Chain A
Amino acid sequence: MVIYSLTFYLFSSVAVLSALMVISAKNPVHSVLFLILSFVNASGLFVLLGAEFLAMILVVVYVGAVAVLFLFVVMMLDINFVKLREGFLQYLPFGALLGIVLVVELGILFLTDRSSNIYNNQTPLQPIVNEVENTKMIGQILYTEYFYLFQICGIILLVAMIGSITLTLRDKGGVKRQNIDSQNTVDASTAIEKKKVKIGEGI
């Protein structure tokens, strides 16, 4: 159990510190890299809770795909560090307000009597020791009880995908594209044309 608590403190402290670095790093690329570190440590915490499926999904989806594209975009930006500093005071009141609201909400959540809320039947944050793998448990509940919500999520994602494709897809014209099928069907009779060239005239 000593190793268990040591790993817990390792993951949680690195997660919190890297989350802090996300907002305080000067270079935006460093911020994204710290965000990734924070994700990975959060997934480590999920593993310690016994939610290994969630942990792996977090790594595959957020770290392996979303953050890669995010990093991709941030690297391509031409960032002017001086301009980045300029707006700081202008945005400070609004940012501080958002932060205070979040802290107050978290505080209310901590101070309220837990026994009276809707989750009172569950003991919070304990590894569930069960014969059934938790991947199977998620599947069993997702496709039965939450079936409609699950389908609605799928439709929302589909709409977002089609929307982003229509925003970026435009036919500029004059773009040379390779048609693989027509290339594969080429043979000597269609590709080569024999001509008799008159001397001194050309084609």
Chain B
Amino acid sequence: MDFFNELLVPGSIIVAQILAVVVPVLISVAFLVYAERKVLALIQLRRGPNIVGPFGILQSFADALKLLTKENIIPSGSNKIVFIIAPIITMVLSLAGWAVIPFAPGWVVSDINVGIMYLFAVSSLGVYGVIMAGWASNSQYPFLGALRSAAQMVSYEVSIGLVIITVLLCVGSLNLSKIVLAQQTVWFAIPLLPMFVIFFISALAETNRLPFDLPEDESTLVAGFFTEYSSASFVLFFLGEYASMILMSSMTVILFLGGWLPPFDIYPLNAIPGVIWFTVKVIFILFLFIWVRGTLPRYRYDQLMRLGWKVFLPFSLFWVVVTSGFLVYFDLLPN
């Protein structure tokens, strides 16, 4: 009985909570891939996937099934254990961040005090999947992709960190629910608009999305760090990339667009449940991700580094000073 009360019950509650978050995330990844292909098709005046299911809506599931039934090829020259672990790490890290995301008041698996630091830590670990894959493949193109991504992700993390600090100055807490509640009067996207823009662009670089997808870079590196991957391990990279895209979008929504809060606290708007507002905002940010992909050409590597270190870093550092100076001068610092 002791065993039952102390281990089995809390254990199964934890597992149920994890499944309640992970399963919707994975399903939304499938629909995000479909949405991306549809939106890109619309931008390029094509029809996009339209055969599998009504309007081609089951296309991603068909692709996943096709990939999973293929043979998983492990190159003979590769470092086998690291080669297999790399996609698993990418996938696990992109799901681990969801533990602290508040979808609505109280709808959070683990409401820890340092939520935003945890998210920052998890997103900064994402680089390991890429580096390990590139190194373990023992092949030139993946290795070049890995080297690029190591430098790129570390560079943009610096400005992401400074942007987070400006938000924290206005909130006075690292807890994600408190960050959302601090935006009841006004969303931080309005007073901190430049930081919102920098955060969004850095999020593109952090998730290796266009115009900063140099680690994959089809036109010069074949497929970048996952050139040698096939079948299930490729699926894991693919799922990981899109899940971390949704994670970064939710992070943007929580930091700048008021999380689950409606735009105005008036009747018809605040009657809609918070989780719906949260989802709508995340979908909006994801649409921006896809829109940018359909519109902009890829950056050259030196331009990418220049943007990160010479434009974003000084500007966000300057804005941290401005924000803290403003808050101290007008005595607006939260306790």
Tell me the bound Cα distance from A52 to B115 in angstroms. Answer: 10
Q: Is the interface of A mostly helix, strand, loop or mixed?
A: helix
The contact string, 1 if C-beta is below 8 Å from chain B, for chain A 1-34, is 1110000000000000000000000010110010
CB atoms of B113 and A72 under 8 A apart: no
B155 to chain A, nearest CB (A): 10
**Top 5 A-B pairs ranked by shortest CB distance?**
A64-B124, A56-B117, A59-B121, A2-B6, A52-B114
Which residues in B have their C-beta under 8 angstroms from that of A133? 113, 173-175
- Assuming the contacts A2-B7, A3-B7, A64-B125, asked whether A135 and B147 have C-beta atoms less than 8 A apart, the reply is no
Q: Counting CB contacts under 8 A, is A180 at the interface?
A: yes
Interface centre among A3, A64, A133 (most CB of B within 10 A): A64
Q: Across the interface, do A178 and B303 meet the contact criterion of CB distance under 8 Å?
A: yes
Rounded to whole Å, the gap between the CB of B263 and the closest CB of chain A is: 30
Residue of B nearest to A40 (CB): B125
By a CB distance below 8 angstroms, the chain B residues around A55 are 114
**Contact between A68 and B11, CB atoms less than 8 A apart:** no
Complex interface: chain B residues within 8 A of A129 (CB): none
Q: How many residues of B contact A (CB 8 A)?
A: 36
Q: Does B127 touch A at the CB level, under 8 Å?
A: yes
7 pairs of residues in contact across A and B, judged by CB atoms under 8 Å: A53-B113, A53-B114, A53-B117, A56-B120, A68-B128, A133-B174, A180-B306
By beta carbon, the residue of chain B nearest A30 is B82
B contact residues around A42 at 8 Å (CB): none
A71 touching B124 by the CB < 8 A rule?
no
B229 to chain A, nearest CB (A): 18
Which residue from chain A places its CB closest to the CB of B306 in the assembled complex? Answer: A180
Using a CB–CB distance below 8 Å, which chain B residues touch chain A? Answer: 3, 6-7, 10-11, 79, 82, 112-114, 117-118, 120-121, 124-125, 127-128, 131-132, 135, 143, 146-147, 150-151, 153-154, 157, 161, 173-175, 302-303, 306
Range of interface residues on A (Cβ < 8 Å): 20 to 34
Main SS of the interface on chain B?
helix
* Most chain B CB atoms below 10 A, which of A30, A56, A75: A56
Asked if B117 and A65 sit within 8 Å, CB to CB, the answer is no
Q: Which residues of B contact A3 (CB under 8 A)?
A: 6-7, 10-11
Cβ of A36 under 8 Å from chain B: yes
A69-B154 contact given A59-B125, A135-B174, A178-B302, CB 8 Å threshold: yes
Cβ of A152 < 8 Å from any Cβ of B? no
Tell me the bound Cα distance from A156 to B251 in angstroms: 34
Decide if B154 touches A71 in the complex (CB within 8 Å).
no
User: Which residues between 140 and 169 of chain A lie within 8 Å of chain B, taking CB atoms?
Assistant: none
* Set A30, A52, A63: member contacting B125, Cβ < 8 A: A63
* Minimum Cβ distance to chain B for residue A6 (Å): 8
> Is B118 in contact with A56, judged by CB distance below 8 angstroms?
yes
CB-CB < 8 A to B128: which residues of A?
36, 68
Q: Known interface pairs A68-B150, A180-B306. Does A33 touch B124 (Cβ–Cβ under 8 Å)?
A: no
Nearest residue in B to A71 (C-beta to C-beta)? B131
Expressed in whole angstroms, the Cα–Cα distance for A178 and B6 within the complex equals 64
Q: Is A57 engaged at the interface, CB distance under 8 Å to the other chain?
A: yes
Complex: chain B residue closest to A43, CB-CB: B121
Q: B121–A72 contact, CB under 8 A?
A: no
Asked if residues A65 and B6 are in contact (CB atoms below 8 Å), the reply is no
Which of chain B's residues have a CB closer than 8 A to the CB of A180?
306
What separation, in Å, do the CA atoms of A60 and B120 have in the docked complex?
7
- Digitize A61-100: 1 where CB-to-B-CB distance is under 8 Å, 0 elsewhere: 0011100110110011000000000000000000000000
B114: which of A36, A64, A65, A135 is its contact (CB, 8 Å)? A135
Q: Is the CB of A65 within 8 A of B11?
A: no
